[in-house]
A and B are shown apart, each in its own frame.
Chain A
Amino acid sequence: MIHQQPLYRQIAELLREKIEKGEYQFGQFIPSERELSAKYGVNRLTLRKAIALLVNEGLLIPKPGKGTYVNRPKIDSAFDTIQSTTPFLLDMGLTPSNRLIYSGRRKANWKYAQIFNISPDDDIFQIFRVRLGDGEPYILEYTYLPYSLIPDIEQYDFSIYSLYDIYNKHGIQLAHDTQTLEIVKICPPQSSLLNLPENDPVFMTTETIIDTRGKIVEYTKSYSSGKKFVFSTVME
């Protein structure tokens, strides 16, 4: 029995291999459709389908009128350790920065009273940020914490400070973290903040962080593009 992959998949694999080997490098245009279809002896339609597959996966980026170029390799984020975003982007060789969308104090109301085990009338603090690497949006984060945790929280500039620094300063030690990972659709304004088309599927993670005293100190919901991220886990 011969079980062969469809032709466009085989071509996509050939191109993928060239990208993985670094023959086609980040930022570089791959040869034109005409050249590639002549090279592999396939018609333009098959070739287009192969390229569309890799565009879909985020390996290639089409630039109308100019061709198709190679995207930056995806970031591999461990789903099994607590990571703070800044050092993590640094590790990937990206210059991290933050775009603060909003920060402010509000009442916990029902939802956050449940999450933090506080009264609905207690205050919480919310911080909405886009985390950038080399100026490009990577993660959109909505962070909530009980206001009483860090009473001077309003004085920090969250486009510069990381929450981890502030926790350290206040002697708050993080113990563990409950995370969920889902794939959801994104729409405006979240999609525009991440430079993604409307209805693109993205990773959505929610994190509940508990400190060494057993208190829930932070709840964060974040969105990241599947074209820029993969997650990894090890189970034993």
Chain B
Amino acid sequence: MIFTIARNELRRMFLSPLAWTILAVVLLILAFMFLSNLQYFVLIQSRLLSMGSDQGLTAVVVAPLLGNAAVVLLLVVPLVSMRLVADERRNKTLSLLFSAPVSMTEIVLGKYLSLVGFLWLILALVALMPLSLLAGGTLDFGMFGAGLLGLALLLAGFAAVGLFMSTLTQHQTVAAVSTFGVLLLFWILDWAGQGSGASGILGYMSILNHYEPFLQGIFDTSDATYLVLFILTFLMLSIRRLDMDRLGG
């Protein structure tokens, strides 16, 4: 049932020009970043070798690419997630789901899965760029894999926030703006009290601090757990919020 809903959401997403435009723009920008990183690597390759540095292709080209992808997608996720529930509420199509024999959890998970599916499709396409380097070099697959896993979890977290914000309102733009706000806030949370030692808890809450280790090739279960809990929290909130639609006035 979850998959029925997710498939329908994805189909409707790709029937609108928005999904295609986003795919095109994101890939264009990331490809440009990838190429300029690559050019930089070619430029400093000999110097890295002479310095005896162990920094290779993956660290210089792939890690920054995934880091940039996270920022670009932070800007893009609100645009994709905003319509999930807000649009249906506005067009009064939500009652189709509410009067069908499906639970609130299934509705939320179905919609969430469609969004994660779309974001992971972008991720897969982005991953193809570093893989193309295999034609003339080698990659550190451990580091590359950790980075992809980190980005996959991060995007799933973005999606959960976006879905929740979309359940709060019937205006797509309101959902988009608030999603962007929340995501950015979680991103920059560790700026507060930087260097004063008081950044402990805020620093821990910051999503960026849990993403960066992945890019350095470090898979820490506490970082992964943080992201999973982050996702679960916003999914639970979404289910609660949709239930309120029935209960509240």
Do A and B actually bind?
no
Residues of A that sit less than 8 Å from B by CB: none
Residues of B that sit less than 8 Å from A by CB: none
